[in-house]
Homo-oligomer: A and B are copies of this chain.
Amino acid sequence: MTAPHLDVAPWSVREPHVSAAGLGAAEAIFALSNGYVGIRGTLDEVEPCVERGTYLAGVHETHPLVYPEGGYGHSEEGQAIVAVPDGTPLRLVVDGAALDVRETEPEVHERTLDLRGGTLDRRVRWRAPSGTTLELRTRRLVSLTERSVCGIRYELRAVDGPAHVVVRSELTVGETPPEVESDDPRVAEALDNPFTVLESHRSRTGGTLAVRTRRTGITVATSMEHDVEGAATVETETGEDQVVTTVTAALAAGDRLGLTKTLGYAWSRDATEGSMVDRAVAAVRSGRDGGWERLLADQREALDAFWDRADVEVDGDPELQQALRYDLFQVYCAAAQTSDAPVGAKGLTGAGYNGHTFWDVEGFVLPVLSLVAPAAAERLLRWRASTLDAARERAGVLEWEGATFAWRTIDGHEVSAYWPASTAAVHVNADVARAFWLHADVTGQDLDALGGRDVLVETARLWMSLGHEDVDGGWHVFGVTGPDEYTGVVDDNVFTNLMARRNLLRAADACDAAPERARQLGVTDEEVTAWRRAADAVHVPWDEHRGVHPANESFTTYREWRFADKRDSYPVEEHQHYAKFYRRQVVKQADLVLALWWCRDDFTDEEVAADLEYYEARTVRDSSLSAAAQAVVCARAQHPDLALRYLREAALVDLRDVQGDTAEGLHLASIAGAWLALAAGLGGLREDREQLELAPLLPTGLRRTRYHVTWRGAVLRVETTADGTALTLRDGPGPVAVVDGRQVVVDREGVRVPLRAAAPLPEEPTQPVGREPRT
User: What is the interface of chain A, defined by CB distance below 8 A to chain B?
Assistant: 65-73, 78, 181-187, 397-400, 416-420, 423-424, 468, 470-472, 476, 478-479, 488-489, 491, 545, 553-554, 557-559, 573-580, 582-583
Q: Is the CB of B423 within 8 A of A577?
A: yes
Expressed in whole angstroms, the minimum distance between the Cβ of A586 and any Cβ of chain B is: 12
A478 and B68 within 8 A (CB): no
- Contact assessment for B479 and A419 in the assembled complex, using a CB-CB cutoff below 8 Å: no
B68 close to A582 (CB less than 8 A): no
Please give, as numbers and ranges, the residues of chain B lying within 8 Å of A545 by CB-CB distance.
Answer: 471
**CB contact between A554 and one of B67, B184, B423, B553 (< 8 Å): that residue:** B553
Q: Is the CB of A66 within 8 A of B579?
A: no
Q: Which of A71, A416, A471, A472 has the most CB of B within 10 A?
A: A71
User: How far is it, in angstroms, between the C-alpha of A470 and the C-alpha of B67 when the chains are bound?
Assistant: 38
Instruction: Tell me if A's interface is mostly helix, strand, loop or mixed.
Output: loop
Given A69-B416, A69-B418, A579-B398, answer yes or no on A489-B491 (Cβ-Cβ < 8 Å): no
Q: Are A399 and B69 in touch, CB under 8 angstroms?
A: no
- Say whether B582 contacts A182, CB under 8 Å: no
**Total copies of this chain within the assembly:** 2
Given A488-B489, A579-B423: A184 and B72 within 8 A (CB)? no
On whether A69 and B181 interact (CB within 8 A), knowing A470-B557, A583-B479, the answer reads yes
Docked complex Cα distance between A476 and B471 (Å)? 25
Is B578 a contact partner of A419 (Cβ separation < 8 A)?
Answer: yes
Q: How far is the CA of A41 from the CA of B418 in the complex (A)?
A: 40
Q: Give Cα A547 to B73, complex, Å.
A: 36
User: Across the interface, which residues of B come within 8 angstroms of A187, CB to CB?
Assistant: 68
A489 in contact with B420 given A471-B557, A577-B398, A580-B399 (CB within 8 Å): yes
Residues in B neighbouring A574, C-beta threshold 8 A: 72
The listed residue with most B CB atoms (<10 A of its CB), out of A69, A72, A73, A573, is A69
- In the complex, 13 of the A-B residue pairs with CB atoms within 8 angstroms, ordered by the A residue number, are A66-B68, A68-B181, A70-B181, A71-B577, A71-B578, A72-B574, A72-B576, A73-B576, A398-B576, A420-B489, A471-B557, A478-B558, A488-B489
Q: Which of A78, A418, A553, A583 has the most CB of B within 10 A?
A: A583
The answer to whether B186 and A185 have CB atoms under 8 Å apart is yes
The answer to whether A479 and B72 have CB atoms under 8 Å apart is no
A557→B479 CA distance, assembly (Å): 12
7 A-B pairs closest in CB distance: A479-B583, A68-B417, A73-B577, A478-B583, A69-B418, A489-B489, A69-B417
Please name 6 further chain A to chain B contacts, defined as beta carbons within 8 Å, in addition to the given A67-B417, A73-B576, A423-B578, sorted by A numbering.
A66-B182, A66-B184, A67-B68, A184-B184, A419-B577, A471-B545
Contacts of A559 in B (CB 8 A): 468, 478
Q: How far is the CB of A401 from chain B (nearest CB, A)?
A: 12
How near does chain B come to A406, taking the closest CB pair, in angstroms? 14
Q: CA–CA, A182 to B470, complex, Å?
A: 40
Establish whether residues A573 and B72, one from each chain, have CB atoms under 8 Å apart when the complex forms: yes
In the complex, chain B residues whose CB is within 8 Å of the CB of A576: 72-73, 398-399
Closest to A182 in B: B68
Task: Report the bound CA distance from A182 to B71 in whole Å.
Answer: 11
Which of A416, A420, A553, A577 counts the most chain B CB atoms within 10 A? A577
Residue of B nearest to A181 (CB): B69
